[in-house]
Amino acid sequence: MLSTVKMSISTLAQLEHDKSSKQIVENTEMVINEAIKSLKEVSDNLSPHVLNNFGLSRAVRNFTNKINATKVLQIRLKSNLGDIRLENNTEVVLYRVICELINNTIKHAKAKKIDIDLNIEQKNITIVYKDDGKGFEMDKLLNQPNNSGMGFSNIFSRINSLKGEINVDSHPGKGTLVNIKVGTENE
C-alpha cells in the first residue's frame, strides 16, 4: 500500500505546482520513503530474511553477532542445530523469544555476559539462557501493572502457543536463568 501511495505522489511531483504545493509534495514523498524504510526494518526484526532463508540457529547467531559488535555485553551462543529447519512458526516464535530475552537483559539487567545454548535433543528444541545481570524477584515481575513486565508476559505467551515449557529462575544479585523446551513436531 505504501508503494502505491509512493507511486501516486511521484506522479503528483511531476505535475506543475506553485512553491508551497511543491514543498508539500516533496515532504510527503520524503515521509513515505521514511515509512517504507522503517517498515522494512521492523519487518526484518520480526522475521529476518536470514531466518526465512537459513533457519533459527543462523538467525540467532546473526542477531547476537550484531549485539557483540556493539561491545555493550558479550553473548556466547552454542548450538547443535546447524542447518536443521523447523516448522516456520516455531522458528519465528523461538527467534522472537530469544531476541526478547536479550533485549530484556540489555534494558534491565546491567549484565556483562549472556550464555545461550540452543539445541535439538530427540524431538525437542531446548534453549538455556543465562545472564550475569542483577536479577529480579519473579513474584514482583508477574504482579506488576499491565505496562511493566510485558516482555516476560509475551515470552510466556509465545512459548505456550507452541505448547512448550518455560522455567524462569531469577533472584536479585544472581542473574537470570531461563529454560525452554518445545517439541519439534506438531501434535
Tens of pLDDT along 119-176? 999 899 999 999 999 999 877 766 665 545 567 888 999 999 999 999 999 999 999 9
Contact (Cβ atoms closer than 8 angstroms) between residue 172 and residue 135:
yes
**Count of other CB atoms within 10 angstroms of residue 78:** 10
Residue 128: predicted pLDDT? 98
Least confident of 42-46, 106-110, 167-171: 42-46
Model confidence over 79-107: pLDDT tens digits?
Answer: 999 989 999 999 999 999 999 999 889 98
The pTM of the full predicted model, rounded to 2 decimals, is 0.75
What is the DSSP code (8-state) at residue 145?
-
CA proximity to 100, closest of 163, 168, 35: 168
Model confidence over 66-76: pLDDT tens digits?
Answer: 899 988 899 99
Angle at 160 between CA 81 and CA 145, to 5 degrees: 120
Instruction: Categorize the per-residue pLDDT at 49 as very low, low, confident or very high, splitting at 50, 70 and 90.
Output: confident
All cell numbers assigned to 19 = 512553491
CA proximity to 81, closest of 98, 58, 102: 58
Contact (Cβ atoms closer than 8 angstroms) between residue 144 and residue 132:
no
Model confidence over 3-37: pLDDT tens digits?
Answer: 778 778 888 888 888 888 888 888 998 898 888 87
C-alpha 69: how far from chain center: 17
Sign for the CA dihedral angle at 86, 90, 92, 95 comes to negative
Residue 33: predicted pLDDT? 85
CA proximity to 49, closest of 2, 106, 92, 86: 92
What is d(CA 155, CA 183) in angstroms, rounded to the nearest whole number?
16
All cell numbers assigned to 170 = 531469577
Residue 187: predicted pLDDT? 46
What's the chain's Rg over C-alpha atoms? Answer: 21
C-alpha 141: how far from chain center: 20
What is d(CA 6, CA 119) in angstroms, rounded to the nearest whole number?
44
What is d(CA 19, CA 64) in angstroms, rounded to the nearest whole number?
49
Residue 142: predicted pLDDT? 65
